């Protein structure tokens, strides 16, 4: 989705802004632009399309400026055109502004501005905000921004600059993240740490309705009423290497390969083998209340929702607390019942998904305790939950979630044991479970050898228009996840189903044109799944099975078998998902798709 990067310091600003935009490229965008201030005037450049197209519009007239603001836009209001790209300017052309989020009352504001004789030229809600700031401007940009934002309904992360005050940047947020990077004699404002990490690791995170003013001497933060707010400087834990390709062809491939190491970091220091317990520092202060939970609601979107389905299973199995899984987008709009003793778990890689955030706020308003299972440290969901557990799997750049998914499942597996051990789970059973959990990174490492076989299978079926994925029990969410991975990056239609549902309709689809991926690791659904394989085979479907190493029986039934190492069935989803990620990856590459930036998708969905 949209990205913001702004700079004030001593260096030439344009290359820093362009580099910052490129670091935000992974989030998805369809146009880009920038503004710099020099010699008392603003110079803007904007372009529909990729950052390269913006670069082609840059010239030496931009050289030598040390302050500027840049943006990548993901169209919401108005097509991705040059005119709709940000920055937008006020009526005098002396103030420029970039914006992430949505101004919901922009029509009302447009009518108001028009009645005051101000014309809005683009189709964007952002231009309305720029004009409104201009309308209130009386020589102080921060005052004008505050006045304008007090009129706004909706979400925003903004950065603004005025030719009248060429040594000042003003930024503000509500529902759309913004951070300030504090460097040596320089400051950067960005919507994502990736844009500033090569310059500094010291940051402050803006909260909703806070305004940031940065000049050459320092910065100050206030709320919308101009009351000062004191902020803590925090350190970003991610490194530059983590957001670079490092020899891999795509981030998705790099992140699939990073999964063993990512999970080692996720588990580090959290499995207490001596006591057969899980130590989750982020939950310690709420543990007493948590074990009294009468009901747990797990929410998320997309891949995070699939992780929630596995979490539901594990928590019910180990802790015997009733769980429900809800799409965040549905939960927020349907007046859910939240009784005493309800705990909500928000699952989100980015920590910024607007629906998951809204669901969390809804549950908190109704009195639920809210936990976060989040990757991005300092993100909005992480900050608004009462307690939580970070994934610590490192930044995920590929739009298709891979290492974050296994991180989410691993954290939920730990939460299940954390709760279980305080209630139903015996030390011996917990000990065995944790020992298995500790082996997962090594087991995934061994599973990576399937890469070439997955490429071959993908090559055979890359032209098929439809794929089915079937699984039972804990493997059903993996069927959903495998199908989602395939469709989002290769644009092949795919569906994930509980294998037993086949007979109730989808079986009519089976033909020899239909690859059917069936998850059949050993476990207590095994015999039933074999029955499902037979059903597909006898109707001519092309069967690709994910099975446990050494299972010679299943090999006789399938066209292709992807053997994964044996592991306890409760934790097997962490392993069986890996070949499905690889199948999707190779299918997308073979079809010439932009794997890391699939069409129409954004890494963090911060608008509805
Ligand atoms: C799929 C994918 C999405 C995200 C979903 C939630 O590969 O990445 O389905 O899982 O948009 O995002 P987060 O976890 O950031 O809330």
pLDDT digits (tens, 9 = 90+) for 594-605: 999 888 887 778
Q: 539 C-alpha to center of ligand 1: Å?
A: 35
Kindly state whether residue 296 falls inside one of the protein's structural domains. Answer: yes
214 and 255 part of one domain: no
Alpha helices for 165-302 (secondary structure H): 251-257, 259-267, 281-284, 287-291
45 near 67, Cβ under 8 Å?
no
Query: Looking at 236, 264, 298, which one is the last position of a domain?
Result: 236
Q: Which domain CATH number covers 161?
A: 3.60.20.10
142 and 252 part of one domain: no
pLDDT score, position 122 = 83
What tokens were used for 436? 């298995």
From residue 110, give the alpha-carbon distance in Å to each of 119, 274, 595: 8, 65, 39
Residues with CB under 6 A from ligand 1: 301-304, 348-350, 353, 356, 400-401, 484, 488, 604-605
- Using the atom order of ligand 1, give the atom closest to the CA of residue 400: 7
Number of structural domains found in the chain: 3
Judged against a pLDDT cut of 90, whether residue 608 lies above it is answered with no
Q: Phi/psi at 7 (nearest 5 deg)?
A: -140, 145
Q: 218 C-alpha to center of ligand 1: Å?
A: 36
For the chain, the farthest-separated pair of C-alpha atoms sits apart, in whole angstroms, at 79
Q: 100 C-alpha to center of ligand 1: Å?
A: 19
Selected catalytic residue, list 485, 487, 597, 603: 603
Kindly state whether residue 439 falls inside one of the protein's structural domains. Answer: no
pLDDT score, position 169 = 98
CA dihedral 444, 449, 452, 455 (to 10 degrees): -10
Choose one of 176, 255, 331, 349 to mutate for the ligand 1 pocket test, by most ligand atoms within 8 angstroms of C-beta: 349
292 and 391 part of one domain: yes
Quote the CA–CA distance of 381 and 373 in Å, as a whole number: 9
Q: 64 C-alpha to center of ligand 1: Å?
A: 40
pLDDT score, position 27 = 81
Choose one of 26, 255, 256, 304 to mutate for the ligand 1 pocket test, by most ligand atoms within 8 angstroms of C-beta: 304
Give yes or no: 603 in active site.
yes
248 and 115 part of one domain: no
Quote the CA–CA distance of 396 and 394 in Å, as a whole number: 6
Domain that holds residue 519: 449-590
404 and 468 part of one domain: no
- What average pLDDT does the chain have? 95
Q: 305 C-alpha to center of ligand 1: Å?
A: 8
Query: Looking at 374, 392, 425, which one is the last position of a domain?
Result: 425
pLDDT score, position 238 = 82
What tokens were used for 516? 């059917």
Kindly state whether residue 601 falls inside one of the protein's structural domains. Answer: no
Judged against a pLDDT cut of 80, whether residue 607 lies above it is answered with no
141 and 106 part of one domain: yes
At 240 the three-state DSSP class reads coil
Q: Which domain CATH number covers 509?
A: 3.40.50.10490
Phi-psi region of 341 (alpha: psi -120 to 50; beta: other; left: phi over 0): left
What tokens were used for 226? 């101009």
- Using the atom order of ligand 1, give the atom closest to the CA of residue 402: 7
255 and 387 part of one domain: yes
- Using the atom order of ligand 1, give the atom closest to the CA of residue 304: 10
Confidence of residue 74 (pLDDT cuts 50, 70, 90): confident
What tokens were used for 544? 């690709």
- Using the atom order of ligand 1, give the atom closest to the CA of residue 376: 15
Quote the CA–CA distance of 327 and 302 in Å, as a whole number: 8
Judged against a pLDDT cut of 90, whether residue 173 lies above it is answered with yes
224 and 265 part of one domain: no
Give yes or no: 2 in active site.
yes
249 and 286 part of one domain: yes
Q: Which of 379, 378, 410 is nearest to 393 (CA)?
A: 410
């Amino acid at each position: 989705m949209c990205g913001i990067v702004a700079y004030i310091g001593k260096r030439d600003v344009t290359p820093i802004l362009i580099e910052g935009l490129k670091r935000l490229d992974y989030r998805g965008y369809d146009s880009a632009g920038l503004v710099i201030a020099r010699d008392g005037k603003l110079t803007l450049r904007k372009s529909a399309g990729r950052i390269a197209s913006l670069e082609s519009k840059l010239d030496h007239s931009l050289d030598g400026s040390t302050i500027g603001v840049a943006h990548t836009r993901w169209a919401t209001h108005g097509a991705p055109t040059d005119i709709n790209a940000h920055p937008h300017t006020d009526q005098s052309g002396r103030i420029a502004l970039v914006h992430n989020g949505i101004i919901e009352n922009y029509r009302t504001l447009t009518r108001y501005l028009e009645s005051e004789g101000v014309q809005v030229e683009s189709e964007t809600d952002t231009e309305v905000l720029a004009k409104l700031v201009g309308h209130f401007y009386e020589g102080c940009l921060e005052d004008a921004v505050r006045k304008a934002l007090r009129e706004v309904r909706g979400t925003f992360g903004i950065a603004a600059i005025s030719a009248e005050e060429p040594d000042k940047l003003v930024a503000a947020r509500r529902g759309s993240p913004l951070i300030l990077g504090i460097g040596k004699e320089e400051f950067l404002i960005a919507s994502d740490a990736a844009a500033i990490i090569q310059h500094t690791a010291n940051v402050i995170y803006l909260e909703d309705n806070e305004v940031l003013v940065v000049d050459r001497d320092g910065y100050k933060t206030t709320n919308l009423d101009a009351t000062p707010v004191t902020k803590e400087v925090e350190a970003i834990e991610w490194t530059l290497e983590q957001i670079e390709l490092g020899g891999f062809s795509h981030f998705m491939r790099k992140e699939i390969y990073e999964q063993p190491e990512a999970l080692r970091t996720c588990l580090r220091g959290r499995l207490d083998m001596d006591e057969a317990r899980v130590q989750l520092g982020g939950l310690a202060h709420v543990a007493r209340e948590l074990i009294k939970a009468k009901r747990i609601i797990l929410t998320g979107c997309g891949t995070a929702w699939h992780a929630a389905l596995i979490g539901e299973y594990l928590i019910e199995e180990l802790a015997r607390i009733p769980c429900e899984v809800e799409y965040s987008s549905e939960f927020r709009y349907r007046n859910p019942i939240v009784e005493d003793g309800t705990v909500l778990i928000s699952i989100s890689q980015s920590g910024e998904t607007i629906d998951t955030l809204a669901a969390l706020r809804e549950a908190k308003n109704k009195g639920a305790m809210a936990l976060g299972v989040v990757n991005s440290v300092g993100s909005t969901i992480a900050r608004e939950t009462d307690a939580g557990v970070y994934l610590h799997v490192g930044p995920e750049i590929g739009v298709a979630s891979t290492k974050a998914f296994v991180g989410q499942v691993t954290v939920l597996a730990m939460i299940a044991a954390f709760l279980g051990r305080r209630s139903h789970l015996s030390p011996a059973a917990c000990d065995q479970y944790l020992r298995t959990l500790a082996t997962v990174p090594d087991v995934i490492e061994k599973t990576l050898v399937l890469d070439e076989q997955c490429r071959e299978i993908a090559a055979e079926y890359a032209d098929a228009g439809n794929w089915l994925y079937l699984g039972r029990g804990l493997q059903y969410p993996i069927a959903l996840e495998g199908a989602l991975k395939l469709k989002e990056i290769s644009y092949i239609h795919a569906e994930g189903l509980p294998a037993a549902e086949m007979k109730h309709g989808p079986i009519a689809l089976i033909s020899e044109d239909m690859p059917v991926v069936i998850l059949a690791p050993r476990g207590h659904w095994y015999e039933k799944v074999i029955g499902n394989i037979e059903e597909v085979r006898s109707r001519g479907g092309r069967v690709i099975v994910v099975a446990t190493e050494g299972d010679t029986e299943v090999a006789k039934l399938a066209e292709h078998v992807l053997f994964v190492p044996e592991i306890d069935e409760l934790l097997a989803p962490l392993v069986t998902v890996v070949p499905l990620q690889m199948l999707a990856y190779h299918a997308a590459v073979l079809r010439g798709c932009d794997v890391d930036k699939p069409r129409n998708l954004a890494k963090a969905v911060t608008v509805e």
